[in-house]
Every structure is written in C-alpha cells, then in structure tokens.
Amino acid sequence: MNRTGRELRLKLFAAALCAAAGFIVFALIGPARAIHGSPLETPEASPQAKYSTFSHDVSAHKMDCSKCHNFPSKNWKAVRPADSAFPDITEYPSHASCINCHRQQFFRGARPQICTICHTNPGPRNSTRHPFPNPREVFDASPKGKDAESDFDINFPHSTHVDIVSELRPQAVEFVRAGWTRMRRSEESCKICHQTHMPQGDSDAEYATAPPKDLGDNFWLKKGTFKTSPIGHTTCFTCHSADTGIEPAPTNCAACHAIKQKPPPADFDKELWARVGLRDRSTRDAWSTRYSSGTFRHEFASHAEMDCATCHDVSALKTLDPRSMKVAITSCNNCHITATSDDGGILNFEIDSRKADASFRCVKCHLSFGTQPIPESHIKAVAAMAGN
C-alpha cells in the first residue's frame, strides 16, 4: 500500500472512531498499532451479511483454528471445579482475531452488531460476555445457548477406539480412566459416552412434557427416547492430552471437528418439536438427526433389553456421514415385522393399509416419513420374513 493510501485509511479509521464516540477506550491501542504492521483487509459488507451471528462456514474464516482459538484459554481453571478442571478452550477469541478484517464492523454505529456475538451488553466499559459454547453444561442453560446450533460434526472413529482400547498394554493404561480399561464391543463401553437421556426410570411420568388433553392415539415425545452423546472434551481429553501424547493432540481441533455437511432428510417434525416445548438442546440435536425412526424409544423395556449391536453396527458407523447412522429396518424383525399381518407385525399392517388406501400415513415408527412412498427396504424386509 502506498503512503497516501495508508494515510487515507488512517484518516477514515480516525473518522470511524469519532463516529463511535462511545467506544473510545476499548482495545484501541492494540488495533491502532496493528494497523502499521498488517495489510488492511476490510471485507465488503454485503447487505445480506448479518453481523450478529458468527459462522465458521465463511470462506475467509476457514483458517487454522489456532488463529482464533488459543489453547488453553486463560480461564480454564475457573470454569470447572478444581478437581475436574483440565486445559481446554473455554473462552471467546480475542478482538485481535477479528479486528484486522472487521475494523468496519467493530467501529460502526453506537452499538456495533458484531459485539453481540460475544458480549451480552457491549459498551466501552462493559466486557460482560455470554458463556462460551464450551463447557456446554453452562452455555446450554444461557439465553444464547438454548437454541444454538454447532457448525461442526464430530469425527469419532468407533471401530478404531474399541479395538485400540482393548489392546492397550497395561503400562499404557495408567492414564486411562478405570472405565476405559473395560472398553469392549459391549454395552459397558458404549455407556461411557452414551446414556439414556431424560430417563423415565421408575417414575409414572411417561411423557417428556405434558401432552395435550385430546392427544388420543397421536404421538407425543416420551422420556428415555434418546441416547446422549458427548457434549464436550471431558472424555476425549483423558486420552488425547499433552501428557499422554496420544494423537490427535487437543490442539489439533480439526482432527475431531469438521464443518457440517448438508444432512439427508430426517424423520423430524419441527412443528411438533415446538409444541412439545422442551428447548433442550441435546434432545433437539438427537431428534433432528433421526434418519430412520423419529419415534423409536431406547428406554422402552423390550428395546432396552437388546444389545446395542442388534441395531448399531459400530464398525460401519462413520460419524461424519449421517447416512451411516441409519438403523436397518431388519433390526425390527420378529417384533414389528412378521411373516403375515396376522402375526402382529406393525410394518405388515401399515403396508397393507397403504395398499388399501393411498393416503394412509404410517405413524408407528415415523413422524415425517410416514406420508412418503414405501421404501424398497420395507417391502424386502416383509418378503424376507415371509420366506420369499
């Protein structure tokens, strides 16, 4: 950049500062100095850009994660109780990660929109922030966290882990939590990361929220429908830490986090979700990614008795490929799929009903899939049970 160019920019910058008179003090020393060293790369503010939400899926943001996230955060010891604290990312990126590209957005208006990504009530002297999205236990309970969605999917190769852990030599196991040493292809190991979410247990309250009085035979969400999945680093970082040296290191964010791909259609009903009125992020995340059966309930006695492997083949599971999470309909064999309708199979009944009435909606296992054409897998499953 030539000298006049830079002077002009500096003048514009100064003008912008005056416009934002309220923000005189904050962090100006840093950016003002940085202006000399680094090229100014102010993005054109397209009219569509909403500066109140941050997305990792903007090409300019696809940099090395460490450009914005410094591991570990200064406050990692403060966000968790001392006995369970571990080095982690628990705070927002600093102004320095944004300012070189977003000077314009940082200094526009009396209350620049961009501040609200991190701050609750931004001002020259108010640095109060929303909880950072990690730990989720704290974030999910906050106004910002209640309806938040992640930009990422998790890469967790199940098969590698199940094998690795059962093969670990004793001396290598020292650092591994007791539970992990028992890791096998069995339900015991799965429980470390997947528990029944909001179980009904011994209580009489079957439904997750009070159903409408005129529910009749209609579907309403029951407790114990979903299994949880990890919502943070606690389990992963017991092994993946600087101390153990097991790759990927905790600083290698991108080994475990990958930008979400467009998912296939899920058996999910947004309006029903709103009516159920839970606003629980774990439930929403699980329900909206049900790619086979939106009504299947894990805690239900006959279902809970079965080994996970009856329905989940973890060796074929790729957590970055939602299609691989589908459960095969043949897992419902014998109980819901029988040789003939007279044997009680609900799938047989629903297929027969659809054949008799093209507008018949399949409701036993489905919320939104039930009005679609019958998939070949269903016809085949019934045929196989009938011995055809």
Residues in region 221-260 near ligand HEC by CB under 6 A: 222, 226-227, 229-233, 235-236, 238-240, 246-248, 250-257
Question: Considering the complex, what minimum distance in angstroms separates the CB of residue 277 from ligand HEC?
Answer: 19
Question: Considering the complex, what minimum distance in angstroms separates the CB of residue 217 from ligand HEC?
Answer: 10
Which is nearer to ligand HEC, 80 or 158 (by Cβ)? 158
Angstrom CA distances, 155 to 239, 255, 269, stand at 16, 7, 27
| 40, 272, 278, 308: residue in contact with ligand HEC (rule CB under 6 A) | 308
d(CA 258, CA 256): 7
Q: Is 49 one of the binding residues for ligand HEC (CB under 6 A)?
A: yes
d(CA 85, CA 122): 29
Cβ-count burial 312-338 (b if 16+ within 10 Å, e if not): beeeeeebeebeebebebebbbeebbb
Give the pair of three-digit tokens for residue 42.
Answer: 């102010």
**Over the Cα atoms of the chain, what is R_g?**
26
| 11, 146, 182, 326: residue in contact with ligand HEC (rule CB under 6 A) | 326
Which is nearer to ligand HEC, 47 or 81 (by Cβ)? 47
Q: Are 28 and 10 in contact (CB under 8 A)?
A: no
Question: Considering the complex, what minimum distance in angstroms separates the CB of residue 383 from ligand HEC?
Answer: 13
Footprint (CB under 6 A) of ligand HEC, residues 141-170 = 150-158, 160-162, 164-165
Angstrom CA distances, 102 to 42, 64, 112, 302, stand at 6, 18, 11, 56
Question: Considering the complex, what minimum distance in angstroms separates the CB of residue 12 from ligand HEC?
Answer: 17
Q: Are 193 and 207 in contact (CB under 8 A)?
A: no
d(CA 254, CA 68): 13
Dmax of the chain from CA atoms? 87
Give the pair of three-digit tokens for residue 279.
Answer: 């606003």
Footprint (CB under 6 A) of ligand HEC, residues 270-289 = 286, 289
Place of tokens 């299609």: 323
Footprint (CB under 6 A) of ligand HEC, residues 286-305 = 286, 289-293, 295-298, 300, 302-303
Which is nearer to ligand HEC, 4 or 281 (by Cβ)? 281
Q: Is 40 one of the binding residues for ligand HEC (CB under 6 A)?
A: no
Give the count of beta carbons closer than 10 Å to the beta carbon of residue 112: 18
- The amino acid at 121: N
- x/- map, 173-212, ligand HEC, by CB under 6 A: ---x---x----x-x-xx-xxx------------------
Question: Considering the complex, what minimum distance in angstroms separates the CB of residue 5 from ligand HEC?
Answer: 19
- The amino acid at 279: R
Q: Is 101 one of the binding residues for ligand HEC (CB under 6 A)?
A: yes
Q: Are 273 and 284 in contact (CB under 8 A)?
A: yes
Q: Is 96 one of the binding residues for ligand HEC (CB under 6 A)?
A: no
- The amino acid at 133: P
Footprint (CB under 6 A) of ligand HEC, residues 117-146 = 117-119, 122, 124-125, 127, 133-134, 136
Give the count of beta carbons closer than 10 Å to the beta carbon of residue 225: 23
d(CA 154, CA 320): 6
Q: Which stretch binds ligand HEC (CB under 6 A): 7-15, 40-48, 208-216, 272-280?
A: 40-48
Q: Is 9 one of the binding residues for ligand HEC (CB under 6 A)?
A: no
Question: Considering the complex, what minimum distance in angstroms separates the CB of residue 318 from ligand HEC?
Answer: 10
Which is nearer to ligand HEC, 3 or 301 (by Cβ)? 301
Question: Considering the complex, what minimum distance in angstroms separates the CB of residue 170 from ligand HEC?
Answer: 14
Question: Considering the complex, what minimum distance in angstroms separates the CB of residue 9 from ligand HEC?
Answer: 16
